[in-house]
Structure 1
């Protein structure tokens, strides 16, 4: 690398897994094939973004269970599962099962907070307990304890002819170390570090303190502060894992039609990067569209990117399969190597 920074060691991608409401099968199959393609191209990880009541993957645990049987090496993750929709004990059972099926390749990511549009779904999701549900960090702590194998009942042994465990089964011993938290604020970054989770960062941060300078510099400076706060709080310190998830779209092998589509996509999303959005003051990073060397130069100059050595680049939401194949191939064949990454055989 031609500036101070960390060579990229781990390359991943993130997809929303779109499908047609009237015929959802092909969309799910396409997502599985993308995971298989990622493994063939040498990617280290493939991540699925969780979507409820939309036309994207609603059950990553089911889809990734299928992916464990169609891949042998690539790591599989959720980025992220909104925990407000889940029962932590039941989720721990599902995740441990996927981890066993994958032989230790599962990387679950979670976020906190009430379910999106909670007022619309509370009657269906929690008809009797909506006002009593806790959607903050305590819910994550319960999940972490269940994954770690802490007792969930006071009884274990035999009752009649049935044997019972006092902890979640199956238990996958290494899964607790592969738990990720999707955080975009200083508070969440510190909490993830204090609780020995890994940190997933994305193209969205909370602009808690207005920064000076350009928009892109603002985003990078804020995200950098989150990464440093996370590592300062984490028992592993500088060795604590952080993955960055910006949207990058290399155009090296794209045809003219694809390049026009990609540029239009980024242009539509650019206005939201001009200033913090909404009451939460969310700040979005601009999408990076262009030749791999051009993208690599901008990433090497990105203050937060320079402090990470793994990424899960987010794929655009609504492109065609051929577009995704071109983007994934250019990232692994050109952009990754330009950032110091070597494909895994």
Structure 2
């Protein structure tokens, strides 16, 4: 097994939070229980996906607001909020509020681009301004400036019994340093670095040049750090699908292997007009997974991960996977549970 260039410093996980459209509460409750379990197991972070007009979490900020009241230590992130659906000023207020409630644990991940199926949703989302909306990086820039305390209004002071502020309230001073950009291209990696953000890289990249998934992802990590003020110390988190089987039942192992096998064909070549290239899912014992990860060029240059949980598994499957990640694979990668975790 090739040695890692650095031990894994932060271990996190990502969940989509699926639910039944006819009875959505149990699915949301399951997501909150998974986040609570993550804290109990010593994970450093828990992240939720964002899904509009689907049966996954449509309001991650609201879900994480609930999670702040059921956890005390674990960082809470979004991976990612598509800003094409958002008003940056309103979102800045929501993020700052949840960050204050959490005691400074919120890590918002963001992305740009037009909403999915934009022509179908535009009449409901932007009925009057749909043709004029800017879905590029400027939308992120607006959010960054507002979260970091730049003026949102030219008016402040007292008016009658009310007091107005020129900047977003509440203001959470540390939140600006905990904003992440979810990117899949060299351009987005460079932009995130130039704007002092952190960088989320996942199990999909844009195949702009020839090369394997691993080579392309490594080039993005290096481009981000080359353009970031913090250089090699700039934060990057990798989000591969990683499924340890150490304590899995035979039935669970078969389910996990079948899941990965069905998704494997899409990794053979770039998909669609955007030329998106997917990573294979990682399934196996923690010893096997550690060997594969240590051989992954991009993994060898990062020390933070938020391994993605598969979309369609059951609650008990997620419990087994998270438990093995924290008690088996994490230690194999040099990670130690957060201080205050039982057993430490």
| TM-score, normalization by structure 2 | 0.98
Aligned partner of 2:17 in structure 1 is 17
Whether 1:308 and 2:302 are equivalent positions in the alignment is yes
**Match 2:245 to one of 247, 251, 269:** 251
Whether 1:273 and 2:262 are equivalent positions in the alignment is no
Per the alignment, in what secondary structure is the counterpart of residue 134 of structure 1? coil
Runs of 4+ in 1 over 3 A off after TM superposition: none
Task: Give the paired residue count.
Answer: 339
**Match 1:286 to one of 280, 283, 292:** 280
Aligned partner of 1:98 in structure 2 is 98
Aligned partner of 1:215 in structure 2 is none
| Alpha-carbon offset, residue 72 of structure 1 | 0.2
Q: Distance in 2 between matches of 1:322 and 1:148?
A: 40
| Alpha-carbon offset, residue 326 of structure 1 | 0.3
| Alpha-carbon offset, residue 4 of structure 1 | 4.3
| TM-score, normalization by structure 1 | 0.97
Segments of structure 1 that go 5 or more residues without pairing to the other structure are 212-217
Aligned partner of 2:160 in structure 1 is 160
Deviations 1:231-264 (A, max 9, x none): 0000000000000000011110001110110010
Q: Distance in 1 between matches of 2:239 and 2:165?
A: 38
Aligned partner of 1:113 in structure 2 is 113
Q: Distance in 2 between matches of 1:186 and 1:117?
A: 25
Deviations 1:76-131 (A, max 9, x none): 00000000000000000000000000000000000000001101100000000000
Q: Distance in 2 between matches of 1:45 and 1:256?
A: 29
2:155–2:165 CA contact under 8 A, matched in 1: yes
| Alpha-carbon offset, residue 161 of structure 1 | 1.5
Q: CA RMSD in A?
A: 0.7
2:2–2:291 CA contact under 8 A, matched in 1: no
Q: How does 1:67-146 map to 2 (within 5 A)?
A: 67-146=67-146
**Match 1:263 to one of 238, 257, 265:** 257
2:2–2:295 CA contact under 8 A, matched in 1: no
Aligned partner of 2:326 in structure 1 is 332
